[in-house]
A and B are shown apart, each in its own frame.
Chain A
């Protein structure tokens, strides 16, 4: 599957395209197929996202899993500061990245 990701312009937060808007949670990301670049162009023009790009991901029972470790770290947060990730209460969250 293909996911569209970028950063929120005012805050810089990592965001994912949900089909209608942008979410900070990877679990809400949807497969954009071959429409990623088109959606990105529209959203950039509307200043709803900054530097968007399309990534490869795998659909899993737990939700989308980016193919590359860099995007998995982007999705979760720094592996060395679990308290600053999106899943601070989940001690196993870091192992999902690896």
Chain B
């Protein structure tokens, strides 16, 4: 894992003290709320429905046990005993006091964490593949590239006031576990014909009220040009992105207006100017960063077999454990989606349990996934049963990864001041309706995603089944969408038709799954069947 150098440590410490001063001035009345709001947002502090909300950055979703314990400590000391893991691989606290915020940031800084650039019109936390460094199918670990971008984008003076927020994802396998093409810039690390690593660049993806899939704008950017090319991408956006209309300010709107080819041409032109500035780091600097992400000391002779005698364990093994690139090891995904639970929430005690397991059984590493789960990336197969047993005791062993109850849901109207409808109660009802584990597994991979408003924090456009909560004359109403995907088979979901009440949409989902069960061919997932037979049979069943 990356460790702060003296520059990282000093700028984070300086930011904490700067914010402490700003909070004191706000509390003393020397700053108005209008003056203070942009300052607190730059430090991840929102004012939400019930209280201040603090969003803590987890760079590319990677953290160690000490950091995880700190998240639990803050939940206990300053919040109400829990945290909410988000679709941006971050963590949010829902009950923060303004007067405590500087102390919280100071405590986070002691474990090399912060809330910088988790809000505002800047480059946000870089997201990545939660299996990075462990996945059997990756060509390299994408995190050194993401870390390089973190350093480049942190406090970048030219990009602190972009037309709108800017999200970047980096992956390094053909399997997209990070919804890469639904980011403002999506990066896939690839090899060229000469065997060199470089970046394939997509731009203009995003969800929100105008969902778009990112377009390929550069097939291969060598490492030597990587930062300059990204700088050029941002410069063109910063220059031409709209600032007159917040709903048309994201880069996707600019690229849609210009056309991807014209945007790419302008980036290329800008790149020639940027390259002359000499901002690309030398290979030695990349190597220095990459050394922090060197594979841990895997046992050479770790046993490669697992005792599957316990049937409940075997089910969890099949559902929540993935292949690791090192023989004798496995990648464990801890579901934060218990039946009837709140997607992404974990109590302080559960956070501590996961941290302890990471320290003992996963080379001290954890990952946050964009699907609001937690990963132990490097677990010896010989330790899997002990890990599962500990997770089960903590209520963390739900064997439902990628099944219909593994629901992404934004905080919705229960917490969010932007929301139009509640997301969480709906997620709870759906998971309860489909609680039968045999039925869930029979339905197979089915990614269900719920957003409580058009901003789409719950990724409803990318759901095999998506749900969008809207306000219909003061009453919650839910639109149903089918056929989206945030993976390598990326697609945007289609709206089925008129919306439903909360109970009505649960029934509609059940009717849609009935169509799938009736129409599927062997090996077809829900989304495959939808793509093959189209909307009509589903619509007939849902509304007929």
Contact = CB atoms under 8 A, between A and B. Distances in A.
B80 A80 contact: no
Contacts of B413: 69-70, 73
Interface in B358-404: none
Given A12-B97, A69-B474, A74 B50 contact: yes
Contacts of B49: 14, 70, 73-74
Interface in B44-102: 47, 49-52, 80, 94-99
Contact of A67 (B33, B51, B474): B474
Interface string A1-23: 00000010111111000000000
Interface string A42-58: 00100100110000000
Contact of B98 (A9, A14, A67): A9
B38 interface: no
- Interface size grouping (class) on chain A: 20 to 34
Contacts of B27: 9-10, 47
Contacts of B475: 69
A78 interface: yes
Contacts of A67: 474
B466 to A, nearest CB: 20
Contacts of B26: 9
B528 interface: no
Contacts of A12: 47, 50-52, 96-98
B98 to A, nearest CB: 6
Nearest to B417: A70
B135 to A, nearest CB: 34
Q: Interface of chain A, helix or strand or loop or mixed?
A: loop
A59 interface: no
Contacts of A50: 33, 47
Contact of A78 (B52, B96, B414, B474): B414
Nearest to A77: B50
B422 A11 contact: no
Given A11-B98, A11-B99, A68-B474, A80 B428 contact: yes
A12 B419 CA distance: 19
Contacts of B52: 12
Contacts of B80: 84
B225 interface: no
A80 B425 CA distance: 7
Contacts of A51: 33, 47
A70 B422 CA distance: 10
A70 B413 CA distance: 7
Interface string B451-493: 0000000000000000000000011100000000000000000
Q: Which 5 A-B pairs have the closest CB atoms?
A: A12-B51, A78-B414, A12-B52, A10-B99, A80-B424
18 contacts: A9-B26, A10-B27, A11-B51, A11-B99, A12-B50, A13-B50, A14-B51, A47-B27, A47-B29, A50-B33, A50-B47, A73-B413, A74-B49, A74-B50, A79-B422, A80-B342, A81-B414, A84-B80
Interface of B: 26-27, 29, 33, 47, 49-52, 80, 94-99, 342, 413-415, 417, 419, 422, 424-425, 428, 474-476
Interface of A: 7, 9-14, 44, 47, 50-51, 67-70, 73-74, 77-81, 84
